[in-house]
């Protein structure tokens, strides 16, 4: 999704953008009465007007009340900078809603760093069955809550509902970033599956097309052939970017040996209890972006756990929920965070991740504590119990 944003500085406005307001001069104001002047002169100064040097200071309160938050969106690169005082080490408390950044992919396209997933609760067993109005309404609700990055898949069975929600939102197509995926457990014809997805979505193109998983393949040659199909679709312009999902390093290595196009992204289950310590650095070394699904696992499926305390502590510090801390942890590592909910308040709350930032130490603390527990929420049958790959 490309959106032409102008640079935004919340604390500076050009004087040429609007005429200077004229305020009354002192000579035009009526003089105060002598009674009022006597009252002012005799009254002790209010605590709120005491100089800062005469007031006891609380560092956290000072940080949240007096240090300005500045947000800058660069229209050329989609890069995003937040500053908190000079050092940037204190974290940023929610004060004013900012715009979340886009992540630039290796093909030059940009992906919004927070997305709404149409799997799990929105799953529909029969994609050719009657339209599920609940899925349409929930997706429209997510769009109205601010989610314009929608992540779908052929196997979710709800591409028709996803397309209807896009239409019902009345937003122009260019405001959306749409992802869908070809099934990764069956070796179905790629081009036919892609055209079927476009038909159900009622779209001329998707922003990102993924292979859902590598489990259709019986050999590296199967992986390579499927990726060649994806490259052919990309060449038509109907898939702006192409990538994979649930691929391990060995799967990526297989396709890179013959690929003309490097995958733009690998969408994987990622949270503090499943950090893929070898896979993620490998992806970064090849400039393959990471999208994290199930980022809230540590505060949902995997409770109780060693992270419960620090999530609660950081939620109190920043005035957010533990789930919002979990999302921010992913975003602060430069990864796309994908989440879902059928609760409108919760969806709007997730947008608050734009208004605060964890410190590097907090990100690292969550990483280290998360390693104390291993939990995989999806594809468990494909892995040994203690396999963290």
Residues marked active site are found at 156, 212
> CA-CA distance, 103 to 37, in Å (whole number)?
59
**Residue located via tokens 């509902």:** 161
* HSE (side-chain half, CA atoms, 13 Å) at 289: 27
Q: Please say whether the beta carbons of 115 and 338 come within 8 A.
A: yes
> CA-CA distance, 264 to 176, in Å (whole number)?
18
3-class secondary structure, 156: helix
> CA-CA distance, 216 to 188, in Å (whole number)?
9
> CA-CA distance, 367 to 296, in Å (whole number)?
14
Q: Which residues pair with 209 in a beta bridge?
A: 180, 242
CA torsion, points 69, 70, 71, 76, in degrees to nearest 10? -160
Q: Please say whether the beta carbons of 191 and 229 come within 8 A.
A: yes
Q: Please say whether the beta carbons of 249 and 278 come within 8 A.
A: yes
Q: Which helix (H) or strand (E) holds 361?
A: helix 360-370
Number of Cβ atoms within 10 Å of the Cβ of 44: 5
Neighbouring residues of 179: CB distance < 8 A, sequence distance ≥ 6: 115, 149, 150, 151, 152, 206, 207, 208, 209, 210
Q: Is the dihedral of CA 112, 116, 120, 125 positive or negative?
A: negative
CA torsion, points 48, 53, 59, 65, in degrees to nearest 10? 40
DSSP 96: S
DSSP 239: E
Length of the chain: 389
> Please, what is the end-to-end C-alpha distance for the chain in angstroms?
31
Structure tokens belonging to residue 3: 């959106």
């Amino acid at each position: 999704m490309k959106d032409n944003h102008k640079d935004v500085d919340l604390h500076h406005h050009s004087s040429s953008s609007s005429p200077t307001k004229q305020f009354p001069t002192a000579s035009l104001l009526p003089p105060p009465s002598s009674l009022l002047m006597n009252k002012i002169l005799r009254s002790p100064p209010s605590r709120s007007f005491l100089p800062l040097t005469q007031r006891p200071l609380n560092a956290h309160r000072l940080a949240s009340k007096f240090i300005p938050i500045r947000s800058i969106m660069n229209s050329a690169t989609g890069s995003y900078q937040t500053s908190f005082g000079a050092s940037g080490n204190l974290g940023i408390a929610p004060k004013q809603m900012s715009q979340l950044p886009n992540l630039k992919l290796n093909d030059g396209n940009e992906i919004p760093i927070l997305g709404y997933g149409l799997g799990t609760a929105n799953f529909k067993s029969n994609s050719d069955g009657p339209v599920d109005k609940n899925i349409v309404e929930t997706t429209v609700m997510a769009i109205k809550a601010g989610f314009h990055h929608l992540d779908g898949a052929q196997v979710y069975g709800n591409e028709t509902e996803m397309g209807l929600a896009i239409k019902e939102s009345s937003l122009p197509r260019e405001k959306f970033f749409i992802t869908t995926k070809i099934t990764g457990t069956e070796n179905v014809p790629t081009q036919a599956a892609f055209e079927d997805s476009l038909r159900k979505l009622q779209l001329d193109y998707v922003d990102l097309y993924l292979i859902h998983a590598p489990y259709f393949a019986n050999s590296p040659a199967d992986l390579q052939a499927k990726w060649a199909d994806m490259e052919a679709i990309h060449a038509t312009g109907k898939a702006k970017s192409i990538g994979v999902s649930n691929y391990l390093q060995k799967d990526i290595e297989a396709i890179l040996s013959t690929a003309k196009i490097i995958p733009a992204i690998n969408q994987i289950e990622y949270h503090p209890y499943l950090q893929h310590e070898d896979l993620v650095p490998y992806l970064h070394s090849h400039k393959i972006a990471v999208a994290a699904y199930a980022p809230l696992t540590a505060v949902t499926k995997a409770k109780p756990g060693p992270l419960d305390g620090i999530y609660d502590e950081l939620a109190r510090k920043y005035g957010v929920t533990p789930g919002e801390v979990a999302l921010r942890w992913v975003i602060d590592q430069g990864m796309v965070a994908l989440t879902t909910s059928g609760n409108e308040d919760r969806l709007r709350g997730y947008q608050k991740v734009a208004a605060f930032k964890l410190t590097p130490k907090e990100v690292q603390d969550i990483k280290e504590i998360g390693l104390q527990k291993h939990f995989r929420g999806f594809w468990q049958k494909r892995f040994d119990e203690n396999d963290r790959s």
